[in-house]
Amino acid sequence: MSLENCERCGKIFNYDPMENLSSEKICPECALEEKKDLKKVTEYLRKYPLANIMEVHEATGVSQAMLFRFIKSGSLKMRKPLEEFKCRICGNQIQKGTICDECKNKIEKGFDAEKLKKMKKKENNI
Ligand SMILES: [Zn+2]
Ligand SMILES: [Zn+2]
């Protein structure tokens, strides 16, 4: 046990490495807060597995810096969007299916297939 400054609030507290699960030196109050934050985030991600940091931050109120810390420490696992969740035509990220709404609309409106090919070529050149 040693006296340490809390990395989160700056308070001096008794640091016990045996009791502190994370590698960071934070006081018991902050550890409790982090636990609550982590629970909120985990629950949100269970409902929306493909949510990004920004969305999680807005939905849970947990700061982005904190989210990055959770990810870094391994207590939070963000699922990376799978390759299948990309539009097969333009490569935009989509929630489900194989093509994005934009491309679907274009196809439904009879979008010229040649134009699409050219568009794709242009994109690949960037
Ligand atoms: Zn603290
Ligand atoms: Zn698309």
pLDDT in tens, 50-88: 888 889 999 999 998 888 888 888 888 776 554 457 787
pLDDT of residue 95: 78
pLDDT bin (cut points 50, 70, 90) of residue 94 is confident
pLDDT of residue 38: 94
Summarize the confidence of residues 18-31 as an average pLDDT.
76
- Ligand 2 midpoint to CA 44 (Å): 27
Q: Residue 67 Cα, ligand 2 centroid: separation in angstroms?
A: 30
Model confidence, pTM = 0.55
The phi and psi torsions of 113 (rounded to 5 degrees) equal -65, -35
Ligand 2 mean position to 16 CA, how many Å? 53
- Let me know: does 5 contact 12? Beta carbons within 8 Å: yes
Which residues contact residue 114 at a Cβ distance below 8 angstroms, ignoring those fewer than 6 apart?
none
pLDDT at 88: 79
Question: Using 50, 70 and 90 to split pLDDT, how confident is the model at 24?
Answer: confident
Report CA(104)–ligand 2 centroid distance (Å): 7
Ligand 1 midpoint to CA 12 (Å):
8
Residue-averaged pLDDT of the chain:
81
**Alpha carbon 49 to chain centroid, angstroms:** 9
**CA 47–ligand 1 middle distance (angstroms):** 30
Question: Which of the ligands is closest to the CA of residue 91?
Answer: 2
